[in-house]
Amino acid sequence: MNRPDPIELEFFRQLLVSIPEEMGVVLRKTAFSANIKERRDYSCAVYDAQARTIAMGDHMPVHLGAMPLSVEHVLRRFQLRPGDVAIVNDPFAGGTHLPDITAVAGVFPEKAKPAAFYVAARAHHSDVGGMSPGSMPLAREIYQEGLRLPPILLVREGVLDEGLMRLILANVRTPAEREGDLLAQWMSMERGAVRLTEAVTRYGLPRLNSNITALADYAERRMAAALHALPSGVYGFEDSLDEGVTIRARITLGGGRATVDFTGTDAQVAGPVNANYAITLSAVFYVFRCLLEGDVPANAGLLRPITVIAPPGTVVNANPPAAMAAGNVETSQRITDVLLGALSAAAPHLIPAASQGTMNNVSFGGDGFAWYETIAGGMGAADDCDGQSAVHTHMTNSWNTPVEAFEHSHPVRVRAYHVRRGSGGAGRHCGGDGIVRELEFLAPADVTILADRRVHPPYGLQGGRPGALGRTILHRGGKARLLPGKIRVDVQPGDRLRIETPGGGGFGLE
């Protein structure tokens, strides 16, 4: 077997990565909602004919590791034709939670049949209906969370299905915004298809596919080498969500392979913190990708040496009709903390302390508006550095919402927005500090908060102290009320909501 030319391999790696990155730019610049334009809560990727990841943009980890399952479910339902665009958000068909709508289209260079490649764009929509504005409710079952879309064709051979679009828009609180964001996803995939077709025209399909295969094999070798470098053994860890739901994992390392076993994790619950297999797989993909040094291709080859066991019916692989809103945003963070905690015993000088471990989700709405955002916090310290402050960590890679965009779009005034000094855990290296964000409402609104690390703090490592717990405080009529991490509350003009996000854990003895 001929060894691939490393220069050619790097050229094609960069070429392929540029395609989902450009798709993301198109999506961001044509979207209507601030959630996509400003927070960049979206992800784009390219897949081969078998729905295996070829390349992904530098977007949202919780999206990217799960998206191949959405593509697989679309392909089980349809043989996509040129011009077709399928959408899906069903967590039991490869989705994560209902606000994340994934669009999938085929690419047909040289009139290939079936498609030679697939492109996909996932975007978090600020409202998809359900019992609370923003579609992140304190639900007990998925039917309360919003409009659930199995794989279905939104565009048929280049023609938008107006009936389906009307059905979707009739079930959301902000129809103009939803329509604009869905059309932006369509346009992003049009761009991806154009760029892939240009690559085939210029280099030929056999040469392109040969390099795609070589890149996946290279990624597999790099992952196997990283696993070989870790001491063989079984490493366990557990951590809990604030509700007392415990996630347990055992990681078995040896022979350049890893088995991640979540047996012993608590059963799914009648609440929104359930995760599905796609979310769990995404967290595993992210954590093990973090073990790699250098710029390694992020493709399907990385997962080949890794086996994931997630028992059905548990909070990491819930069955229908489990509610899922917080599984994607909160439970994914706790799964990540558990996996890193387990690996810290195998690589004590490589793994950092826990970061804030929550996305501090705030959603609200009222007459003609709906909003959703996540709020950053502290990053865990590591063996060689302090943790960063006021950043989004691990499974989220979104941006902080600019105050100007926030106040322009909604009847809310930002009264405070600054680093929460001293919230990082102490240690030889200190954890990063969280954020203080205080909102004053100028109109009545229905607010839902899904946040964690209000009871169990982010852990320190090697003698480092935990990060500070998060706090949520409602100021009304001169009185302050401490709220639980997950709550739905009605607010009136003049009410102020103060969110103090957790700090990261410290590393090492002072």
pLDDT 10s digits, 104-118? 999 999 888 899 999
pLDDT for 296 beyond 80: yes
Residue 329 in any domain: the answer is: no
CB 339 within 8 A of CB 283: yes
Predicted local distance difference test score (pLDDT) of residue 20: 97
pLDDT category, 494, cuts 50, 70, 90? very high
Residue 415 structural domain: 352-510
Residue 241 in any domain: the answer is: no
pLDDT for 1 beyond 60: no
Instruction: Please tell me which residue, 106 or 349, carries the higher pLDDT value.
Output: 106
What is the mean predicted confidence (pLDDT) over 355-361?
A: 97
Among 217, 241, 265, the domain-final residue is 217
Q: Which helix (H) or strand (E) holds 178?
A: helix 175-203
Predicted local distance difference test score (pLDDT) of residue 482: 97
Residue 433 in any domain: the answer is: yes
Which of 360, 391, 408 is CA-nearest to residue 33? 408
Residue 194 in any domain: the answer is: yes
Residue 95 in any domain: the answer is: yes
Same domain, 356 and 213: no
CA distance 179 to 165: 8
pLDDT for 395 beyond 60: yes
- Centroid of chain to Cα 397: 8
Residue 168 in any domain: the answer is: yes
> Between the ranges 109-118, 407-416, 424-433, where is the mean pLDDT highest?
424-433
Among 172, 202, 217, the domain-final residue is 217
CA distance 307 to 209: 26
Residue 318 in any domain: the answer is: no
Predicted local distance difference test score (pLDDT) of residue 100: 97
Residue 39 in any domain: the answer is: yes
- Centroid of chain to Cα 56: 13
Q: What's the chain's average pLDDT?
A: 96
What is the mean predicted confidence (pLDDT) over 126-147?
A: 97
| 94 phi-psi bin (left φ>0, alpha ψ -120 to 50, beta other) | left
Q: What are phi and psi of 338, to 5 degrees?
A: -65, -45
Predicted local distance difference test score (pLDDT) of residue 406: 86
What CA–CA distances, in Å, run from 179 to 85, 127, 182, 184?
15, 11, 5, 9
- Beta strands 445-450 and 361-366, pairing class: antiparallel
Express each pLDDT in 47-67 by its tens digit.
999 999 999 998 888 888 899
Predicted local distance difference test score (pLDDT) of residue 80: 97
Least-confidence region, from 92-96, 141-145, 217-221, 339-343: 92-96
Domain count, the chain: 2
What is the mean predicted confidence (pLDDT) over 206-231?
A: 97
Burial 18-50 (b: 16+ CB within 10 A, else e): ebbebbbebbbebbbbbbbbbbbbbbbbbbbee
What is the mean predicted confidence (pLDDT) over 241-247?
A: 97
Predicted local distance difference test score (pLDDT) of residue 2: 67
Predicted local distance difference test score (pLDDT) of residue 110: 84
For residue 497, the cross-strand partners are 439, 474
Three-class SS of residue 10?
Answer: helix
Predicted local distance difference test score (pLDDT) of residue 405: 85
Q: What is the DSSP letter of 145?
A: T
What is the mean predicted confidence (pLDDT) over 179-186?
A: 98
